[in-house]
Amino acid sequence: MDDRKTLEALFAQHGCTDFRWIDPKQIVVAAWVRMKCRFGCQDYGKAAACPPHLPSPTECERFFSEYQEAALFRFSKAVEKPEDRHAWTRSVNARLLKLERAVFMAGNPKAFVLFIDPCNLCTECTDDPKDCPNPQNARPSLEGLSVDVFSTVRKAGYPIEVLTDYAQEMNRYGMVMVM
């Protein structure tokens, strides 16, 4: 399809070359994902674009149901120390944000990007969305919107595993909801 070719050229321009087109009906939204945010995440309540500041899993499901087309992006990297991952995910998220703008300008008013990690555009995130200095650019991650990333990416034929140490290569996933 010509529309897809146009978008694929934009993906390449933004360094997002490892992707699969998916039907958003393939996106698995699950209550357990939100439960893992609520219990077990040390940043719960401390990040403006994460739960509990995001819509409920039911509302997330409704959001995804309004789309017919999305692209799932894979980004892979191994880091020496856990904290090294943040600079990398910040740069990928910033790229995805620029891609969202380009997809929008290409005639897709519903364009919306989901980050590969919690929004970390700032080096320190604020606890409260009211204090976010950059609300026009803040975006949730897939997990933040209660997406079961394991099931969703496996359905698309992509690999993902629970990692047991940081020397292993991470597979991280972002998405652009297109139309």
Positions touching ligand SF4 (CB under 6 A) are 48-49, 119-122, 125-126, 132-134, 137-138
- In the complex, minimum distance from the CB of residue 90 to ligand SF4, in angstroms, rounded to a whole number: 9
Q: How far apart (Å, rounded) are the C-alpha atoms in residues 162 and 35?
A: 18
Shorter beta-carbon distance to ligand SF4: residue 120 or 171: 120
- In the complex, minimum distance from the CB of residue 17 to ligand SF4, in angstroms, rounded to a whole number: 25
Shorter beta-carbon distance to ligand SF4: residue 3 or 43: 43
Alpha-carbon Rg of the chain, whole angstroms? 16
DSSP label at 147?
B
- In the complex, minimum distance from the CB of residue 48 to ligand SF4, in angstroms, rounded to a whole number: 4
The closest of 89, 96, 68, 80 to 11, measured between CA atoms, is 96
Strand order in the sheet with 70-77: 19-22, 70-77, 170-177, 112-114
- In the complex, minimum distance from the CB of residue 93 to ligand SF4, in angstroms, rounded to a whole number: 9
Shorter beta-carbon distance to ligand SF4: residue 53 or 155: 53
